[in-house]
Structure formats: structure tokens, C-alpha cells
Amino acid sequence: MIIPVILAGGSGTRLWPLSRQLYPKQFLNLSGGNTLFQETVLRLKNMGLPEPPIVVCNEEHRFIVAEQLQLINVSANTILLEPAVRNTAPALAVSAIKAVKDGNDPVLLALPSDHFIGDLKSFKQAIQEGAEFAAQNHLVTFGVVPVAPETGYGYIRKGQPLTSKANMPAVWQIDRFVEKPDLALAEEYLASGKYLWNSGIFMFKASKLIEEMQTFAPAIMDACKAAVEKGRNDLDFYRLDIESFAACPGDSIDYAIMEKTSCGVIIALESDWNDLGSWEALWQVGEKDVNNNVLYGDISLQDVTNSFVHASSRLVTAIGLDNHVIVETKDAVFISPRDRVQQIKAVVENLSKDNRSEVITHKTVYRPWGSYTNVEESDCFQVKRITVKPKAKLSLQKHYHRAEHWVVVKGTALVTKGEERFILKEDQSTYISIGTVHRLENPGKIPLELIEIQSGRYLQEDDIERMDDIYGRTEKNKGRTPL
């Protein structure tokens, strides 16, 4: 039995401004189809892996994961919620512990949620080969056969060759992992034929990973065991114990286990693979026009070549550019030569130091019941456009410092205001005074859209107390889950 483990906890800062802390790149639709997370799930399903996946994600992204799975009609084995970022070793440890809890010992196929894999036939063959070696208590990783001297990837040096089946990918012992090289060293690696790109994809029996973790990373293992044992089910999720997981050392599976174990093997992956870790990577895999540009959105160009242009909310125009990246969102624009896009991490770091909200969230914020978009804001008022999905409802709540005026522009609203419950239809409105207990619901079959005008001297999202919530958010808000 193979159970996929999808690691969906990344922050995706290198794809800012599209990728934000509360809505990172794996959950974005970057090409007009499914999101990267959905593509990963569907890829495994289409390969004939019948077992539902274990998904490991940040607690803040739990409803995004659940909704995106629902949209593609896939149920998860479990959705493990990490209360803190601790890298891939703890994420895989809790997955293995959870997988064997019911007496099973499956082979886990662990992979990031945001990669592009073009050649599914080669990928499927590599996974089949990996499953056999994992069943023999090997810890398997997959090395992409390099096609260029890439400086943005880590590499793995091949060790002694191992026997593999005819017409199946080649297999080696792992000699060593190496960091991202400079160009000269990358060219040397490519010419030698002894190195593969580190894909970050792994396979192992759950029990074998637990055994190796206990040997080489006992502090991580002990903390993860406690986090699972003291955790609890919450709706469709499994909440790891906050205190135990917070005490867990952070480390990657490469450093914690794969560089130390004597059981590691690497399987060649000859596929059109890309980790989609930068705007340059998206240009590489994107469909090019006659001028070798990759374009998304409302765009008009003159004399622009070899560039990536992404327009989210308005017309973007450019003249006389070559090898550039332009990315536009409702609240930010990023422009860079293609060969310097990796420096965006420094841009995001500087914005974080300045406490800029653009690092954390978009103008449109997604919630389990729908979404809201900040239209206008000032010191004493805010205007939001709120969309509520059919049959969804917000929490029963009140505010101590702001009043709200709701105007329905589409659909039907069921409003709770104090002791009253009443229907609002299009072009009707109501006023919620400070301190009044209230709730907004959509009883209809189409999305409810309304304009909310907030007024008051304090308009931050931590001014909310929930009395009831179908999504389990009844604690006093700390500014992370508004509305």
C-alpha cells in the first residue's frame, strides 16, 4: 500500500507578489487551470494510486486545503495541521507516526505540493521502482537527470550502482548531498555525469522512517510522537499538539536523515521536472508566444521579448524590454530582469521588516465561508466587498469598537441582529451597531455578494468575539482569522 504525503506548508516567498503568507504559491492558479496543489493531487490520482493522501499544511491554510480538495472531488486520508513551521523532517515524522497508528505500515510517497512534472510516464516508472526499494527497507529519493548547469537546485552525487529491473530507471546508493553550486561548479557537475538534481521527493516505509528518525534525530522523533499523541481531531483536520510541536527542532529530511542513513538510495527521474520556485522557472515551463514571452492576463506589449508578464487585475503594457519579469496584483507590482529574480527574497525580507501587510495577505482574503476584498480604507472607515458561498455562514459575533452597514448587491442574505432574524434581498441594507451580536448567512443557491462599510475608531480584525462558529473558530480572535 502506497500512501502519498503531500507537503503543503511552504511560504513561496520567491513568487511574491502573487504568493503571500496567508495564500502561498501552492494554492494559486498560475496557468488558468488547477492550482499547483490540485495538480499534485490529481497527478497521483491519474497515476492509479488509490489511497487518499495525507496532507501536511500550516494551520492558517487548513480551509484552503479542504476547499481545494473538495473542488476536485478528492478526500484526504487526513489533513495534519502544523502549529509552527519546522521543515520537512518533522512533517514527515508526524505523517509516519499517524500512518502506523492504526497498525498499518504503508510505503509513504512524500512530495512537495508545488512542482511541475511533465513526463508522467517516466515519473510513474520511477515511483514503481521506488516502491520496490522502499518495501525492502531502503529510504528512497529521486534525482532528476540534469539538462543544464542549474545553480538554483541542490545536487546528489551517485554512489555505487544497484540492480534495477530492465527498462526501469537506474538506481544508485547515495554518495552525498551537495548544496546549490555556483555556475562553474554546476557546469563541472553536469559534465561529470555523476550528479543528479535533488527533487525533494522521497519514498520509505513508515516504520523504517520512524526507526531511522529515532536513531539519527531522536529529539525530533520524541517531540513529534508527543505532538501526535496529544493532538486531536477537529472537523476534517488533525491538530498536532501546539506545545509539543513548538518544542520540536526544525530540520529538513535531507540533513536529519538522508545524509546520515546507510539505507539511502537514489533513483533517476528522467522527466520534464521543475520545482517552480521562481518567476524564471515559470517562464521556463510556460507556453511561449511568437516573441518568446509567457503572458497571463490583460497585456499589451510592443517590442518585448523573452519575458514573463502576469497581470491580475488591470491592463499591463510595456515597451522595449528583453528578458524581464513583470507581475501585477491589486496592491503591488514587481519588475526585475529575469536573471535577478532570485533577489526577490531580499525584497520580501525588507517589506517584512517594515511590517507591510502586502507580505502577509492579498487585497482579497479567503475564508471557509467565502472571501472579502478590501476596497477602501481610512483611519475611521473601511469598505469591503464580501462574497458568501451558497449555504455558508459567518460566525455569530460582535465587535466592541466598530459598527457595520451591509448592502446586498447580489443574492439573498439571512441576517441575525440581536434577537432579530430577517432576509435581505438585492438593494436592501441593514445597520449593525457597536456591541450588537450578529451573523450573516447565505441561504440561497448562488453566491451572496454585499458591500460592508465599517466605521469606528478601531478597525483591526482582532476586534471580534465569536459566540458560535460552524468552522470551530469560537475562541477570541487574535487577528489571523477575521470574520
Q: Under a CB-based contact definition with an 8 Å cutoff, are residues 379 and 420 in contact?
A: no
**Same structural domain, 268 and 332:** no
Residue 478 lies in a domain: no
How, if at all, do strands 237-239 and 232-234 pair? antiparallel
In a domain, 84, yes or no: yes
Joined together, the cell numbers standing for residue 211 give 526507526
> What residue ranges of the chain have pLDDT lower than 70?
31-32, 474-483
The answer to whether position 235 is within a domain reads yes
> Do 287 and 266 share a structural domain?
no
pLDDT recorded at residue 334: 97
**In the listed set 274, 290, 308, which residue is the last one of a domain according to the structure?**
274
307 shares a domain with 238: no
Q: How many domains does the chain have?
A: 3
- 27 and 131 both lie in a single domain: yes
Query: Is the same domain home to 122 and 237?
Result: yes
pLDDT of residue 480: 42
291 and 251 co-located in one domain? no
Query: 238, 254, 274: which is the final residue of a domain?
Result: 274
Residue 193: CB partners within 8 Å, gap ≥ 6? none
Domain annotation covers residue 357: no
Per the structure, the complete domain to which residue 326 belongs is given by 279-347
Are 271 and 144 in contact by the 8 Å Cβ rule? The answer is yes
Which alpha helices (DSSP H) does 317-438 contain, by range?
344-353
Main-chain phi, psi angles of 234, to 5 degrees: -145, 105
Enclosing H/E stretch for 128: helix 120-135
* 62 shares a domain with 23: yes
| DSSP helix, strand, coil percent of the chain (3-state; round to 5) | 25, 35, 40
61 located within any domain: yes
> How many Cα atoms sit within 13 Å of 203 on the Cβ side?
26
pLDDT, position 200: 94
**In-domain check, residue 412:** yes
Measured CA distances, 406 to 9, 415, 433, 469 (Å): 35, 10, 11, 20
| SS3 (DSSP) at 30 | coil
Q: Are residues 106 and 236 in the same domain?
A: yes
